[in-house]
Amino acid sequence: MNIKRNINTKEICDQIKKGNITALSKAITLSESNIDSDQELANKILAKLKTKNNDSIRIGITGVPGAGKSTFIESFGNHITNLGLKLAVLTIDPSSSVTKGSILGDKTRMETLSVNKNVFIRPSPASNFQGGVGKNTRESIFLCEAGGFNIIFIETVGVGQNEISVFEMVDFFLLLKIAGSGDELQGIKRGIIEMSDLIVINKTDGDNINKSIIAKNEFQMALKLFSKKESEWMPEVMNCSSIENNGIIEIWDKISSYFKLTKANNYFYKNRIKQNKYWLREIINQSIIDNFYLNERVRKEYENQLKKINENKVDVFEAYQKIILSQKT
């Protein structure tokens, strides 16, 4: 179904630049839509909002379930806005594997942050997009930056070596952990540690303080096994308590030090160019895949081969050849 909306893209762009949250939300909704006409409108808006966005800071935040990501983001976000900065939080909801629907809205998990006038929170379903981030997260980042948000948080679904997608769209990658979960080192993939610019041991409070200090030392030792980053930054491990707001100021100071270093040595700007090249390839690849399945002959042959596989009448490689040939006929 293709629904034509009566939307003035120039007016939306003007309103986004003025900081209008309603216009920003509408543009993100269009970019997330699967309707062709909505995608066409979204592409026009993105094309008109030309900006280099080199003044913004993009921070990826990931961690195992139970690490306290939402509590940390609320505490950390409130500190950032107290500094006079505007914050956009793009949170990726877990999606139902059956309905593909969003299970939990993050605004319900960030009560004080959600009513902060200098904060924009946008939950979106992760669905099956590789990397733990929503399919249109890159476009949402761009739109938020055009709307004047200085700091962008991208909270990912979880941790794993396929989290490369979020790494390729942020300037700083923060891994959130807790002590006493029984997986301080064993449960973390090597790739995640390599990508991390800072590891934060959250919930360093109450009976968990000693365990958290031990976990910090273990991770600090593990970091020494990795080679020096291209950015010349040496990742560190820090403790914090999001509930008690302990360590939050120090974490922001550490992140600020990272940006001072990487802007001075030009890595920040080179990495942005590298990311833009990566996302150009991703957009092209996705477009090729979409166009492939939009081919009616391909779609019919695909369904036909699925039925034959279900009946055990054909193997995967033979089915693949049939589908590819259907595109050429």
- The answer to whether residues 193 and 159 touch, using CB atoms and an 8 Å cutoff, is no
Q: Is residue 151 over pLDDT 70?
A: yes
Percent of the chain clearing pLDDT 70 (strictly above): 83
Give per-residue pLDDT as tens, 90-107: 987 655 444 444 444 555
Q: Which residue has the higher pLDDT, 20 or 184?
A: 20
**Domains assigned to the chain:** 1-49 (1.20.5), 51-265 (3.40.50.300), 279-328 (no CATH)
Q: Which residues, 6+ apart, have CB-to-CB distance to 250 below 8 Å?
A: 238, 240
**Sheet bearing 151-155, strands edge to edge:** 119-125, 87-93, 151-155, 57-63, 172-178, 198-202, 236-239
Averaged over 49-76, what is the pLDDT?
86
Burial of 196 (0-12, 13-18, 19+ CB in 10 A): buried
CB atoms within 10 A of CB 30: 26
Global pTM reads 0.86
Identify the band that residue 166 occupies on the pLDDT scale cut at 50, 70 and 90: confident
Which residue has tokens 């055009």?
146
Residues paired with residue 90 on neighbouring β-strands, in sequence order = 122, 154
What digits encode the pLDDT tens for the residues 239-298?
999 999 999 999 999 999 999 999 999 999 999 999 889 888 888 887 888 788 888 999
- Predicted confidence at residue 254, as pLDDT, reads 98
β-bridge mates for residue 14, sequence order: none
Q: What is the pLDDT of residue 53?
A: 63
State how far the Cα of 25 lies from the Cα of 146, in Å rounded to an integer.
12
Cβ atoms 169, 154 nearer than 8 A: yes
Phi, psi (deg, nearest 5) at residue 210: -65, -40
Look at residue 107 in the predicted model and tell me its pLDDT.
Answer: 55
